[in-house]
Structure 1
Amino acid sequence: MAFTEPHLEELVVIPAALSSRSRTRYRGVLRTHVAAVCCGLLLSGAAVATAAAALADQAQAQVEERGRGTLVSAEKLYTLATPRAVAAELGAAGFEDDTVHYGVVAYRLVYRTVDPHGRPTTASGLLALPLNREGRLPAVSFAHGTGSHKNDSPSMRRGAFVSAPVIAHAAAGAVGVAPDYLGMGKGPGSHPWMDIGSETTASLDMLRAARAFAPRTGHVLEREVMVTGFSQGASAALGLGRALEAGADHWFRLGALAPVSGAYDFGGTWLSALLDGRLEPKSSVLYAAYTLVAFNRLHHVYDSPGEVFRAPYDSTVEALFDGAHTGEQLMRGTPGTLDELLTEHGRELLAHPTGPLAAALRTTGAVCTDWAPGAPVRLYMATGDEQAVTANTEHCRQALHNKGVDAPAVDLGAVDYQGSRHLGSNVAATSAIVRWFGELRRR
C-alpha cells in the first residue's frame, strides 16, 4: 500500500511552523512509520488515518522542539460505560439527558502553554470521548464559568456543574474538550480571571493536546471545532473563535460559535450593572473584589489593597483569591454590600476606569467588536439574568451585526438552577447547543 504526498498530508497536517528542511524530514519519518504499520495490511481509511495520526506525535518529536500544546500527561478519570450511566451523571449535576446517545470516557490532560506574559507554563483540562464511536470525530471546546478554587474546573469535578456540558457533548458523539484555565485544576500559580489572551491560549493549547492524545484511543479530531462557553467562558469562547478564524493553528478551524450569558461589555454594561444594583448584591461584591484583585495582578491597578478595599477586607480579600479558598470561604469572608467592601476610590475606579485598568478592560471588551466571525454564531441568554444582565448579549449581537454578522440572540426564558437564572442558562443552553451543533454537522 503506497501513500502519495497529498494523501499523507490529508491525514496528518505537516506543521506550517517548521523549516523546509524539517518539513522534509517530518514527511520522511511519517512515510517510514506509516508504511511499517500498513505494510501487508488492508486497512480502512479511518484506520489508516488513526494509525498515521498516532505516529505523528513520534515523528513530530524528532523534528520539533517541545512547545505549546505538547501533552505532558494524561490520566483516565472515569468511564460512564452506558448512556444510562451518562444520564445519571448529568442528572446528578442537574442537567438534562435528552441528547445522550453514547457512553463516555473522561481524561485529565496536562499540557504546555504560556502565561499572560508569554512565558512557558502548564495547564490542565478535561477531555471526554464517546464510547463505541470510532475514527474521525468532531471536537467541541467548552469554556467554563467563574470559579475561585482550583477545583472549580472541569477536570477536577465529576457529576458537577462545570463538567456536565463537556460530558453532554461527548455523549452526543463529539469529543468534549474543556480547559481548566491557567491557575486552575492542576495548573500552577494564580488564575488570571477574565484575561482573554491567556484564556484563548489555554483553550487553543488544550485543543492541541487533545489532538495529540486522541489517536491513543483510536480517534482523530476533525479540523472544524464547535466552540461554546458559559459566563466567563462566553468571552473565552469568543477569544478562541477569533484566534481560530485568524489562523492561529495549522489544523483547527472554527465550525460554529455558541457563547452563553457572557459579560461581553465587561468595562461598560457589566460594571455599570454591578455598581447600580442591577446585579444581585452578593454577586456584585464577589465580582468587584475578583475584578480588582485579578486585574491588579496583571496590570497594577492599585499600590496597596487599602486604596480600594475598606478595613478589615483590605487585609484579607486578596488571599481569598489564591486558588486554595473555597467558594463558601469566599462568601463568608466578604461583606454583603459594595459600600462595606469598597473605598470611594475603589468604587470610582470601577465606575470610571483609567490607566492600565481602562486599557485592560478595552481588551476584554473587544471580543464582540474587533472581528467578524465567518462561522455560524448564536448567543444564548436567560431572561432576568441576575449576574450577567442581558444587555451584554444585546451589545454583542449589535456589535456583530454592525460587522455584517447575523448572530441571533436565543432567549432561554426564566430558567432556574439552585435559585439562579444565570446558572440556569448554562443548564438550558447545553441541550440546545448540543442539538444545534449536531444539526450543523449534518448539513
Structure 2
Amino acid sequence: MRFLRYTTILGLVLVVGASSAAAAVAQPARGEDDGRGDVVAVQPLRGLDAEAVRNTLAEAQFGTGDVRFGVDTYQVLYRTIDARRQATVASGLLVLPRSGERQLRVVSYAHGTELNRTDAPSMWRDGWAVAPALTYASAGFAAVAPDYLGMGLGPGPHPFLNVTTEASASLDLLRAARTVAAGQRRVLRREVYVTGFSQGGSAATALGGTLERGADDWFRLGALAPVAGAFDVRGVELPALIGGTVAPPYNVGYTAYLVVAWNRLHGLYQRPEEFFAAPYAAKVERLYDGVHTGEDLVATLPGTPEELFTPHGLAVLREPSGAFAAALAEHDASCDGIRAPARLLVDRADEQVPVANSDYCAARLRSAAVVDVGTHPYDGSAHLGSNITGTTAALAWFRQLG
C-alpha cells in the first residue's frame, strides 16, 4: 500500500495519449452481463529497449539484473462487471517482451493501494506503478496489471479491498490481453502465474481461486506468489490498524478507506456522523473519490482512530457484525483451498501489514510456504521495499517453474 505519494493533480485525469479520450467515454449500457473481457480500446504507451527498461527500473529502485529484452506497453480498456454484476469498463496495463517468442508465459500482477486514479499502472505516472510488470516482461513473460474498478480509466469510486471485483477485473483483463496479444501475433499460454503486492495480495489469491475453479475456458492457475498481503483483515489487519501496531498516517488512512468503500457496498452507516467524529465526518468521504491524494489525506485526517471515529464506529471495527462481518468473511476467505503451488512472500520487518496475515493464508492454502524476502526499505518503509524484493523473488521462482 503506497497511497502517501504527494502528487499535485488538481483534477481528474482520464487520458494517457490523445486517442484515449474517446475510449474513456465508451461505456456499455448498464444491465448487460455479457462480453466480459471484450476490448473497448487499446492505447500503445511506451516502447522501451532493454537499456531503457533498466533505467526505468533503476529510477524506481527495482532490480535490473534480470532484464533480457526490451518491451512494448499498452493501456487496455475492456468490459467487465461491477460489484453488483452490472456491466462496466476497466483499464489495465499489458506489457509484451521483445523476445521473438510467439507463445508467452503470463504473469498477472495486482498493485498495492493508491488513492488517486492516475496512479494506477496503465496511467504510468512514474516507474513505481509499472516496475513489476516491466520486470516480468523484460524477463520474457507477458505481464498484465489491472488498474481495478474505479482506478485508471474506469468510472465510479474504487471498491477498496473488494476481492470479488478485484478478481473479476483481473480475469477480464487477462481475456482482453489475450485478444490484444493475438493482434501482435503473440499467444498467451494457459498457465497464469499470479502475484500482487499488499492490497494486491488478496486480489491475487482471489484471482488464483477464480482461475483454479475454472472460471475461464482458456486460462488456468499455474502458481501463486502474493507479496505482503492483508489476507486476514478481521483477525490481524484491523486490530493492527486500530490497536496501535500500525503508525500514523497509515492506521487511520487505511481504516477510513475500508469504511468509506465498504459503506458504499454494504451500508455500514446511513450518515457519516454515525461512524466518524466531528469535524472529520464532513470531510472523510470525499478523500476517497479517486481524485484526492495522499497529501490531502495527511492534511485532513487526525493521527489516531480514537480521534477519527465515534465510539460507535470504533465498537463496530472492534467487534464486526451483520453485513460488515459477512463482507470481512468473504475477503478473508480468498486463500481457502487453492491447490496450486504457492509462496507467500513477506518482509518480517513490515510495519504496515503484519506477517501474521501471510501465516493465516498459508494455513488455508493446500501447498504454500511463507518466505522471508529480507528487508530493503523504500522511502523508509520495509513494507514498500517488500514489493521490490518480493518481485525479484517471485520472478526467480516463476522462471524455475518453466
TM-score relative to the length of structure 2: 0.90
Name the CA distance, whole Å, in 1 between partners of 2:228 and 2:192: 20
Provide the residue aligned with 1:386 in structure 2. Answer: 351
| Amino acid aligned to 1:78 | R
Shift of 1:90: 0.5
Contact 1:263 1:388 in 2 (8 A): yes
Deviation readout 1:311-357 (Å, 9 max, x if unpaired): 11100000010001112112212112212211111111111011111
Name the CA distance, whole Å, in 1 between partners of 2:206 and 2:34: 24
| Amino acid aligned to 1:126 | L
Q: 1:186 pairs with 130, 141, 153, which one?
A: 153
Deviation readout 1:241-265 (Å, 9 max, x if unpaired): 0010100000001110000101101
User: Can you give the 5+ residue segments of structure 1 that lack an aligned partner in the other structure?
Assistant: 1-64
1:78 matched to 2:43? The reply is no
Shift of 1:162: 2.1
Name the CA distance, whole Å, in 1 between partners of 2:93 and 2:270: 37
| Amino acid aligned to 1:79 | G
1:298 matched to 2:259? The reply is no
Provide the residue aligned with 1:426 in structure 2. Answer: 387
Name the CA distance, whole Å, in 2 between partners of 1:291 and 1:172: 35
In the TM superposition, structure 1's runs of 4+ consecutive aligned residues that sit over 2 Å from their partners are: none
Name the CA distance, whole Å, in 2 between partners of 1:261 and 1:157: 23
Shift of 1:66: 6.0
More helix by share: 1
Q: 1:99 pairs with 51, 66, 71, which one?
A: 66
**Where do 1:237-276 residues align within 5 Å?**
237-276=204-243
**Where do 1:51-62 residues align within 5 Å?**
none
- Between 278-287 and 115-124, the greater mean CA deviation after superposition: 278-287
Shift of 1:158: 4.6
Name the CA distance, whole Å, in 2 between partners of 1:194 and 1:93: 25
**Where do 1:405-424 residues align within 5 Å?**
405-424=366-385
- Structure 1 vs Structure 2 CA RMSD: 1.1
Provide the residue aligned with 1:46 in structure 2. Answer: none
**Where do 1:201-240 residues align within 5 Å?**
201-240=168-207
Shift of 1:291: 1.1
Name the CA distance, whole Å, in 1 between partners of 2:196 and 2:74: 19
Give SS of 2:261's match. helix
Change (3 A) 1:415 1:383: farther
Name the CA distance, whole Å, in 2 between partners of 1:295 and 1:188: 17
1:163 matched to 2:130? The reply is yes
1:352 matched to 2:313? The reply is no
| Amino acid aligned to 1:410 | V
| Amino acid aligned to 1:124 | S
- Between 326-335 and 107-116, the greater mean CA deviation after superposition: 326-335
Provide the residue aligned with 1:108 in structure 2. Answer: 75
Deviation readout 1:134-165 (Å, 9 max, x if unpaired): 31101100000011111121001254222110
Provide the residue aligned with 1:174 in structure 2. Answer: 141
Shift of 1:278: 1.0
Name the CA distance, whole Å, in 1 between partners of 2:265 and 2:127: 30
Name the CA distance, whole Å, in 2 between partners of 1:285 and 1:133: 48
Name the CA distance, whole Å, in 2 between partners of 1:271 and 1:159: 30
Shift of 1:189: 0.4
Give SS of 1:192's match. coil
User: Can you give the 5+ residue segments of structure 2 that lack an aligned partner in the other structure?
Assistant: 1-32
Give SS of 2:129's match. coil
Name the CA distance, whole Å, in 1 between partners of 2:293 and 2:242: 25
Q: 2:290 pairs with 320, 323, 346, which one?
A: 323
- Counting matched residue pairs gives 370
- Between 354-363 and 272-281, the greater mean CA deviation after superposition: 272-281
Q: 1:399 pairs with 354, 360, 364, which one?
A: 364
Give SS of 2:332's match. helix
Which structure has the larger Rg?
1
1:435 matched to 2:400? The reply is no
Identity of aligned residues (%): 49
Deviation readout 1:333-388 (Å, 9 max, x if unpaired): 2112212211111111111011111110000000123x2x2221000001221111
Shift of 1:427: 0.7
Name the CA distance, whole Å, in 2 between partners of 1:132 and 1:389: 39
Give SS of 1:302's match. coil
Contact 1:145 1:162 in 2 (8 A): no
Name the CA distance, whole Å, in 2 between partners of 1:393 and 1:281: 23
- Between 328-337 and 102-111, the greater mean CA deviation after superposition: 328-337
Deviation readout 1:96-119 (Å, 9 max, x if unpaired): 111110001110000000000000
Give SS of 2:150's match. coil
Provide the residue aligned with 2:24 in structure 1. Answer: none
- Between 173-182 and 326-335, the greater mean CA deviation after superposition: 326-335
**Where do 1:15-164 residues align within 5 Å?**
67-81=35-49, 83-164=50-131
Q: 1:375 pairs with 340, 349, 353, which one?
A: 340
Provide the residue aligned with 1:4 in structure 2. Answer: none
Provide the residue aligned with 1:55 in structure 2. Answer: none
Deviation readout 1:216-255 (Å, 9 max, x if unpaired): 1120100111000000100000000001010000000111
Give SS of 1:378's match. strand
